[in-house]
A = this chain, B = another copy of it.
Amino acid sequence: MKDTEQSIIEAAILIFNEDLSAPLEKVAEKAQITRRTLHRYFKDRNELMLKCKTEIRKACHKAMQKAYDSTEDPVKRLEYMFYAGVECGTKDTFLHKLHTLHDHDHRAHDKECAEYDDTFSVWKSHLQYLQKEGLISSMMTVEWMHQLFQGIVGASVSSRNNPKNDLEVVKKLGWFSFSRGIGL
C-alpha cells in the first residue's frame, strides 16, 4: 500500500511532462486517487515536483549505467544506451525538457544540474570516444548528438502512444535512425 506515493509520482511525471502548471487535481485523477490523498503524501506542488525530479534522475541514471555496463563492445554499448533512453520513456523526455527550459539556467555547480550532467556524462564521453576511434562522424558536436538522441527518443516515445506500435519495433526503428543520423 506504500506504492501509492510512487504511483502519484509516476502520474505526476506524465501530467507535468505535458503541462508543467497543470492543477494537482489532474495528477490525482491520473493516479486514480483524491486530491486530498495526494496532499497527505506531498505537502505542496513544489515537494511533488522535487520528488519527480529525483525519480527521473535516478531512473535514467540507473538505466544508462546498466546499459553501459552490459557490454564491452563500443557500438553495442551505444545501442543499448539508446534503448535505455527509449525504455525510460517519458522520464527521459521530461528530464531533458526540464533542463532545456528557457528560464532554467543550467549551471554545473547547482546540485540538480550536476546530477543531470552526471547522468549523461558517461553517455557523452562515450560519444567522444567513438568519434576519436573514427566510428562515428567527427563533423558534429557532442552537443548536437545529444540533442539528436533526445529528439529521437522523444519520437520513439510518441510512437509508442499508439498501442499498435510494439516497443521492440519502435526501439529498432529509433536505433536505425539515430545510428545513421550520427554517421555510424
Contacts of A156 on B, CB cut-off 8 Å? 147
Q: Name the contact of A144 in the complex, choosing from B14, B148, B159, B180 (C-beta under 8 A).
A: B159
Residues A140 and B173 in contact in the complex (CB < 8 Å), given A147-B159, A152-B148, A159-B147: yes
Interface residue stretch chosen among A18-26, A49-57, A77-85, A109-117: A18-26
Contacts of A14 on B, CB cut-off 8 Å? 102
Contacts of A162 on B, CB cut-off 8 Å? 143
Give the distance in Å from the alpha carbon of A78 to the alpha carbon of B22 in the complex: 37
Contact A18 B18 (CB under 8 A): no
Contacts of A181 on B, CB cut-off 8 Å? 152, 176-178, 180-181
Copies of this chain present in the complex amount to: 2
Chain A interface, DSSP helix/strand/loop, else mixed: helix
Contact B180 A159 (CB under 8 A): no
Q: Is A74 an interface residue (CB 8 A)?
A: no
Q: Name the contact of A159 in the complex, choosing from B19, B143, B159 (C-beta under 8 A).
A: B143
Contact B152 A158 (CB under 8 A): no
Contacts of A18 on B, CB cut-off 8 Å? 20, 101-102
Some 5 contacts from A to B, beta carbons below 8 A apart, are A14-B102, A102-B161, A144-B159, A151-B155, A176-B181
Additional A-B contact list (19), CB under 8 Å, known A151-B152, A152-B152, A176-B181: A14-B102, A18-B101, A19-B19, A19-B21, A20-B20, A20-B21, A20-B22, A100-B161, A102-B161, A144-B159, A147-B155, A147-B156, A147-B158, A148-B152, A151-B151, A151-B153, A152-B155, A180-B181, A180-B183
A residues whose Cβ falls under 8 Å from a Cβ of B = 14, 18-23, 100-102, 139-140, 143-144, 147-148, 150-156, 158-159, 161-162, 173, 176-178, 180-183
